[in-house]
Chain A
Amino acid sequence: MSMQNIRAFMPRQDLIAFLVLAVVIFIAMPLAMDIFRLNLVGKYLTYAFVAVGLVLCWGYGGILSLGQGVFFGLGGYCMAMFLKLESSTPEATAIQSTPGIPDFMDWNQITEIPWFWEPFHSLPLALIAVLIVPTIFAYIIGVAMFKRRVGGVYFAIITQAVASILTILIIGQQGYTGGVNGITDLRTLLGWDIRSDSAKYVLYFVNGILLFACLLFAQYVRKSKLGRILLAMREREDRVRFTGYDVSNFKIFVFCLGAAFSAIGGAMFTLQVGFMSPSFVGIVPSIEMVIFCAVGGRMSIIGAVYGTLVVNWAKTSFSESFPELWLFAMGALFIGVVMAFPSGLAGLYRNHVGPFIEKSYKRLRLSYENYRKPDNLVTSD
């Protein structure tokens, strides 16, 4: 890449935003917090994968998915299945009527591991599944919807339906999925105890690095012609179509990309929190994820990360005192943001903080230059 290409990919403003976020995630948070709090932030950041995907999908492409929990959950479940099989050794499960299978299967009178669990004995296969299963699922939904030109509100409702169907399926098929409790009691990854403090530190950083990988890819997409086509499509779909683009393929691509990001987040959630359950798949968590994105600013990939952190921090503090009010607060927040700050935190920053910083920076430089030229002091008045 030439210098010019790099500048086109990462203009100065964006570079600063990336660097500041890197400092926050990799230096400030780990220094300021104990491991319990840091692990909590790590958990929040797994939702940021979803929010970043939504910026591309919804902010850029105009495709509002209210079912991103599906992909987060599928990624998380793929990871959890591997971890569960690893911790269900015959020794560890000796008290079961069928030792060597996950505990919830035993409770549900299942006596052997179902076929679709078999690949999850292998970590490489499980990792591939984390990425591939949700993406293929998104691809199927995308082809079925976008090739038929289903969009807008109809698409949003269908993603809601998918989210609730999958939740019902997971809860109903208890013997294969762990039911409403999910897949719990996950302990080791290839013998490495993921519940220890040191593992939590490592996983926090792995999570941060993966998030930055996704952010950089999102930035690449945003700055490529594909990013501009998404914007064009959102505004004038017909013009794009009659310019010779197969619009549906672009929608399918960005929807699959959002799904893949979400899946990585889901897998990292499972690793850091130690379980996965249907409560991260359904309608409510899916809508929450859209709110993270909206609060951060749906056109800003970096904003989406801050939006996720802020809303989750608020949720944790708020629901400790008034758990039953949280859903209402969330709804009010969403409506408030959409009505008053359609560009979210990123918009506030761009319109108020950014110019202020720029001005202070200029003033600082000016006074510095004046200071360097002593004769100015005499002639200035």
Chain B
Amino acid sequence: MNAQTAANNEDFVLSVEGLTVSFDGFKAVNDLSFYVEENEIRVIIGPNGAGKTTVLDLICGKTQATEGSIKFRGKELTKMSEHAIVHAGIGRKFQNPSIYEDLTVFENLEISFPRGHSVFGALVFKRDAEVIAAVEEVAETIFLSEDLNKTAGLLSHGQKQWLEIGMLLIQKPDLLMLDEPVAGMSVAERKQTAELLNRITKGRSVVVIEHDMQFVEDIAHRVTVMHQGKVLSEGSMERVKNDPKVIEVYLGH
């Protein structure tokens, strides 16, 4: 499949090829290749320490690749700065909710609104009707309309996860990367989040890392299974679930 896809990899939103990163000789990601299509929801699963988070770190520029290439709409990302990668259209949610607890929900979303990102732009930034409308729209999507003036630190764990997703949404990224978005959520919140993801993924590609198999079944178009920095299996959830290699890794632990 790789040979066929590599030939026309301009059609992919994201193409990762031969990606390797070595931390003092330990290859956390080892010659990894995968391709994400337009409007696809891709879920990456794998045991702890498989290198999933590191893959997202490499894509968003947090970690420098030792080898390999990451192309986003044909643009090489491995040499770009973090903020340039964001401006190219990639949004990333961290594994632990990463929000500004001292600021209000409104202010959290406002900072993420894609305007006034230079020093001067931030100094003269005005909270105009456009900003307010965008913040309110996103707040509604992430179930936080009632909490706009609340200090973000006071939100529940699940609400914090939603807020961070909202902070990405307001940037209207073409590729959304979510690291364990339902970790630590109640069953009801997981359901709500699955519904939220299905709604917000219209018109963009999404890469999600997740452990919760029910949740994966609910949202995934395709699944990539990682193990020890490599792709172990890839395809539909059905196919992956029945792959003997996957069964061995999951049951063997």
Contacts and interface: CB of A to CB of B under 8 A. Distances in A.
Interface string B71-89: 0000000000111001100
Chain A binding site: helix, strand, loop or mixed by DSSP? helix
Contact of A244 (B62, B110, B171): B171
Interface in B44-103: 60, 62, 81-83, 86-87, 91-92, 94, 98-103
Interface string B201-240: 0000000000000000000000000000000000000000
B118 interface: yes
A291 B63 CA distance: 38
B111 A228 contact: yes
Nearest to A250: B119
Q: Report the contact-size class of chain B (Cβ under 8 Å from the partner).
A: 20 to 34
A224 B118 CA distance: 13
A231 B108 CA distance: 11
Interface in A218-257: 220-221, 224-226, 228-229, 231-232, 235-236, 238-246, 249-250, 253
B225 to A, nearest CB: 26
A246 B102 contact: no
B171 A224 contact: no
A6 to B, nearest CB: 13
B83 A232 contact: no
B94 A238 contact: yes
Interface string B160-173: 00001001000100
Nearest to A247: B83
B247 interface: no
B83 A246 contact: yes
A246 B103 contact: no
B119 A253 contact: yes
B111 A225 contact: yes
10 contacts: A226-B125, A228-B100, A229-B111, A232-B100, A238-B62, A239-B94, A239-B100, A243-B167, A244-B86, A246-B118
Interface of B: 60, 62, 81-83, 86-87, 91-92, 94, 98-103, 107-108, 110-112, 114, 116-119, 122-125, 127, 164, 167, 171
